[in-house]
């Protein structure tokens, strides 16, 4: 099942403090004013999501066609995700990871009282 930007927003906004916004003139997800996800409107499309570099390397090495990079993103903590190919549960986990990497401590503390 292909996911849409609306699906991504619905999954992400279940996390504390997440808001739909813009970043670099593209639809984006932010927490505490910091961007952690961006809908790419360039030719390659997809979702750019904050990701630990070691996780990015592992995802790219897996050969899963849902994950890719471009020279612009090489060496940076962003993984590119093909929304037509990623499994919803995997995206949900990745959004949670990106949120943890980005959310301020006060917002992260809210997770102790809320289940995702």
β-partners of residue 21 are 28
Residue 110's pLDDT band, with cuts at 50, 70 and 90, is: confident
Q: What is the pLDDT of residue 112?
A: 66
Please check whether residue 2 is in contact with residue 83, taking contact to mean a CB–CB distance below 8 angstroms: yes
The answer to whether residues 28 and 22 touch, using CB atoms and an 8 Å cutoff, is yes
Model confidence over 42-88: pLDDT tens digits?
777 899 999 999 999 999 999 999 999 999 889 999 999 999 999 99
Instruction: Specify the pLDDT at position 32.
Output: 95
């Amino acid at each position: 099942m292909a996911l849409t930007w609306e699906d991504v927003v619905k999954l992400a906004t279940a996390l504390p403090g997440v808001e739909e916004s813009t970043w670099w003139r593209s639809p984006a997800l932010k927490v505490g004013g910091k961007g952690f996800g961006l809908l790419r409107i360039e030719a390659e499309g997809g979702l750019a999501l904050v990701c630990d570099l070691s996780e990015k390397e592992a995802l790219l090495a897996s050969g899963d066609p849902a994950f890719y990079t471009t020279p612009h993103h090489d060496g940076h903590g962003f993984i590119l995700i093909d929304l037509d190919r990623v499994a919803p549960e995997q995206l949900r986990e990745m959004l949670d990871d990106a949120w943890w990497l980005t959310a301020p401590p006060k917002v992260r503390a809210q997770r102790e009282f809320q289940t995702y």
